[in-house]
Homo-oligomer: A and B are copies of this chain.
């Protein structure tokens, strides 16, 4: 099958054309073979007026799947355009966890209407899940799963699965509960196929269970999925009763969102959970200005240091030309170390107990980097600045001071860069927030102190 992305532009034109000419049967035929996610994307691409129309062309079941994939704005618009019967039809086709996702994004009056038209059982379940804190395991789970009893035979299980398959999100893993709904084990659909019909579930079930609790953070849930290669994770309450399951497709979204959040924090932004183009200008400003302000104000320290060494600069003006190279290289070297450590922390490849190993490794890397950079810079200063641009002030002594300061700055920057995130993690702060944006400022200050320190010490007449 040709790739959807490559046909997208063309399809948008065809759909617009069919809409204009009111060729609805043909339009329906065009959309039917597409995946729900692709139909939703096409609907968002064309002008808004077409959305309710296209939606009504789709068969009921497809329509619900497409609905789930639309942006909250378009979902809201559609719900407002629905008759009560239409709303009920869509709601009946939704899986519980999708319904909860939608309810979470809608304004209060729309939520009220949704709950009024859900069947009583779903209404109860939605309300149940809405009680869990945002980003907790409870908030992303679904309460629709296959539960079995230990004394069922494999044949009983098959019957039960056949009866419930339409209403649950997955039948790949079934959970075995005791009389108090406590989780006792699980069987995969594969286990059932490999067993004899008359076997009892309790004989074939796996009793080594990895589960999460309803209040566990979704990031930790995602880490467990990825560590254990699970497709489904049981969610239990404080008394070990099974209250829901989390499926891997929801966890993939969590993983992407958490990686985005880490990246945003490293680039000194407050994380946002909306896609870039759907975030308003004011909202974007609000997520970026706090760190810009804080880092600018903390730049006062660099100004102070330079002012303090103003006389040194007056005596040897060429020194000021190398301030940006020095601070930038320090910043780059430091953020390489901090970013590597932050990512390893969030993938749980590195723990605080590894701090000695990490620092020892970074110091050795830093010494090699520092020496390479200093050597390269020394040659560059003499050849390019000294000979090519004929700058008489770039003497071998000045070049030497710049390069020694450079090497020391790189070692300092990498040491600070790898230590800060580990310390932040240890005291329970977010390494990405605490460490990454501050590295530049801290390294700037240290780089300047090192630079002016060597200059006043080594260059006669300075300081």
Chain B proximity of A178: nearest CB distance (Å): 15
Does A48 reach chain B (CB closer than 8 Å)?
no
Task: Mark interface residues in A1-44 (1 if CB within 8 Å of B CB, else 0).
Answer: 10010000000000000000000000000001111010000000
Find chain B residues with CB under 8 A from A343 CB: 260, 263-264, 276
**Contact assessment for B365 and A288 in the assembled complex, using a CB-CB cutoff below 8 Å:** yes
Find chain B residues with CB under 8 A from A373 CB: 289, 292-293, 296
Question: Which residues in window 237-252 of A have CB below 8 A to B?
Answer: 248-249, 251-252
Once bound together, how far apart are the Cα atoms of A289 and B361, in whole Å?
15
**Contact assessment for B306 and A324 in the assembled complex, using a CB-CB cutoff below 8 Å:** yes
**Max chain B Cβ within 10 angstroms of own Cβ: one of A228, A229, A251, A318:** A229
Of B207, B226, B444, the contact of A328 (CB 8 Å cutoff): B444
Contact A354 B277, CB 8 Å, known A172-B189, A302-B325, A384-B300: yes
Does A395 reach chain B (CB closer than 8 Å)?
no
Once bound together, how far apart are the Cα atoms of A357 and B269, in whole Å?
20
Contact A35 B306, CB 8 Å, known A189-B189, A277-B350, A444-B324: no
Find chain B residues with CB under 8 A from A318 CB: 307, 310
Count how many chain A residues have C-beta atoms less than 8 Å from C-beta atoms of the other chain.
120
Does A340 reach chain B (CB closer than 8 Å)?
yes
- A362 to chain B: closest residue by CB: B284
Does A317 reach chain B (CB closer than 8 Å)?
yes
**Contact assessment for A293 and B252 in the assembled complex, using a CB-CB cutoff below 8 Å:** no
**Contact assessment for B376 and A35 in the assembled complex, using a CB-CB cutoff below 8 Å:** no
Does A131 reach chain B (CB closer than 8 Å)?
no
Once bound together, how far apart are the Cα atoms of A79 and B276, in whole Å?
49
Find chain B residues with CB under 8 A from A108 CB: none
Find chain B residues with CB under 8 A from A194 CB: 162, 165-166
Does A285 reach chain B (CB closer than 8 Å)?
yes
Chain B proximity of A461: nearest CB distance (Å): 16
Of B295, B314, B372, B437, the contact of A289 (CB 8 Å cutoff): B372
**Contact assessment for A303 and B385 in the assembled complex, using a CB-CB cutoff below 8 Å:** yes
Of B162, B281, B349, B384, the contact of A193 (CB 8 Å cutoff): B162
Find chain B residues with CB under 8 A from A267 CB: 266, 335-336, 339-340
Once bound together, how far apart are the Cα atoms of A110 and B244, in whole Å?
45
Does A323 reach chain B (CB closer than 8 Å)?
yes
Does A231 reach chain B (CB closer than 8 Å)?
yes
Find chain B residues with CB under 8 A from A260 CB: 343, 347
Find chain B residues with CB under 8 A from A162 CB: 193-194
**Contact assessment for B303 and A321 in the assembled complex, using a CB-CB cutoff below 8 Å:** yes
Find chain B residues with CB under 8 A from A306 CB: 320-321, 323-324
Task: Mark interface residues in A203-237 (1 if CB within 8 Å of B CB, else 0).
Answer: 00001111100000000000001111111000000
Find chain B residues with CB under 8 A from A251 CB: 252
Once bound together, how far apart are the Cα atoms of A395 and B436, in whole Å?
34
Contact A324 B303, CB 8 Å, known A37-B227, A225-B252, A288-B365: yes
Once bound together, how far apart are the Cα atoms of A76 and B324, in whole Å?
48
Once bound together, how far apart are the Cα atoms of A231 and B54, in whole Å?
28
Once bound together, how far apart are the Cα atoms of A103 and B34, in whole Å?
38
Find chain B residues with CB under 8 A from A350 CB: 276-277
Contact A332 B295, CB 8 Å, known A34-B208, A229-B249: yes
Chain B proximity of A13: nearest CB distance (Å): 14
Does A329 reach chain B (CB closer than 8 Å)?
yes
Once bound together, how far apart are the Cα atoms of A269 and B343, in whole Å?
13
Chain B proximity of A450: nearest CB distance (Å): 14
- A252 to chain B: closest residue by CB: B226
Does A297 reach chain B (CB closer than 8 Å)?
yes
- A276 to chain B: closest residue by CB: B344
Does A368 reach chain B (CB closer than 8 Å)?
yes
Task: Mark interface residues in A404-420 (1 if CB within 8 Å of B CB, else 0).
Answer: 00100010000000000
**Contact assessment for B255 and A344 in the assembled complex, using a CB-CB cutoff below 8 Å:** no
**Contact assessment for A321 and B307 in the assembled complex, using a CB-CB cutoff below 8 Å:** yes
Does A322 reach chain B (CB closer than 8 Å)?
yes
Find chain B residues with CB under 8 A from A361 CB: 277, 281, 284
Q: Write 10 A-B pairs (CB below 8 A) sorted by A numbering.
A: A162-B193, A267-B339, A269-B336, A277-B354, A284-B361, A289-B372, A293-B372, A307-B321, A324-B444, A328-B444
The 8 closest A-B pairs by CB, nearest first: A299-B325, A259-B259, A267-B339, A276-B344, A229-B249, A306-B321, A302-B324, A303-B321
